[in-house]
Amino acid sequence: MQNSTSTLKEFGPKGFKVMETVARAPSLDRHGLSYGWKPDIFCLRIDADEYTPNTFNPYYSVFEQYRETVTIFFNINSFKDAKDQILRCRDLGIDIQSHAFYHHTYNDYASNRYNISKAKTFFQEIGINTTGFAAPLGRWNASFMRALEDEGYKYSSDFSYDYMGFPSFPFEQGNYSSIMQIPIFPVAPELFFQDVCSNPEAVYKYYKNSIDELIRCNLPVIIYAHTNPTTPEVMPLLLKIVDYAVNCKGLRPASMTDFYDLWVGIMATEGKGGQKAEPSETPGEEFLGKAVVQGIPERVKGFLKNKLDFERVTPVEDLKCSISKRVLKTLARKVLQGN
């Protein structure tokens, strides 16, 4: 089983590092069940967390030009009044998948099942069948996995379970899940523009190097980003990143669902002459990440927040956790209001 615990890690070259919470150790050389596998495809995963017309519309420059390589995971609470945008993306031929209804991954099964199901129903009502999922905040736990199984999903991509590795199926309580986990490069470019770096060329160089590193280590090349309203620098940067991957490095455009289908085919060759594909090298620390040592106050705060499953995005009437936890969460929201 892949270690399901996660930790805060630091990524990037010296001078402008960013942090992301990811799995303690990526699988890297596990589950590379490949017949002739080589890193010859490129996927661009887009997490559409927030919607405003002025900030979302510019991304159509990427969507229209590189539709074959894009999968958009829509968060429905943000797009429930902008379903025309989801349909526009579908009509462009873009792979549309789910990023939940509320932007949170919960600790309990009932909350996760409700959140996943509520989004799935919305998609079905507008004529879209979703089979792929990306957990909000990249979080993964066993109750979330079981909820995905019961909602009939085929794959998910959650970097607190695994990142920069080959697809695998989580092993819990003596059984393998039916949900394929697809690892990605876990650093979103907008992180660099929030409070670290104002140099798009330096960020572009980092992503060029990241793509080169993934290819060198024989790993799938899957980059992700958000349609973030506060970082307008990202959209033109994505155009350059995809152009580098597809036109300079010659990687074939593929959606996340295409990659899932590809890997299902790869697994079917196991035992029929297929060879294990293992990374030829271990990626460097600026790509693999380095654990951040947090102080006691930060660790205690993180522990309490996780224990309580604290968040503010779910309306009280849609909280599906136990009554005692619901009371505690509601009380904590009141106490911490404005903080």
Mind listing the domains of the chain with CATH numbers? 6-293 (3.20.20.370), 294-339 (no CATH)
Q: 31-45, 159-173, 322-336: which range is least confident on average?
A: 31-45
For the cut 60, the answer to whether the pLDDT of residue 277 exceeds it is no
Between 8-22, 139-153, 324-338, the lowest mean confidence (pLDDT) is in 324-338
User: Which CA distances in Å does 123 have to 116, 130, 274?
Assistant: 11, 7, 38
Distance in angstroms (rounded) separating the CA atoms of residues 117 and 114: 5
Please report which residue ranges of 4-141 form alpha helices under DSSP H: 53-56, 60-65, 76-79, 83-91, 109-125
How many Å apart are CA 306 and CA 107, to the nearest integer?
8
pLDDT(312) > 60: yes
Higher pLDDT, 339 or 237: 237
* Window from 37-41, 229-233, 245-249 with minimum mean pLDDT: 37-41
> What stretches of the chain show up as alpha helix (H) in DSSP?
53-56, 60-65, 76-79, 83-91, 109-125, 142-150, 191-195, 200-216, 234-243, 256-268, 285-288, 296-308, 323-335
Per-residue confidence (pLDDT) for residue 305, from 0 to 100:
81
Is 289:9 a contact under the CB 8 Å cutoff?
A: yes
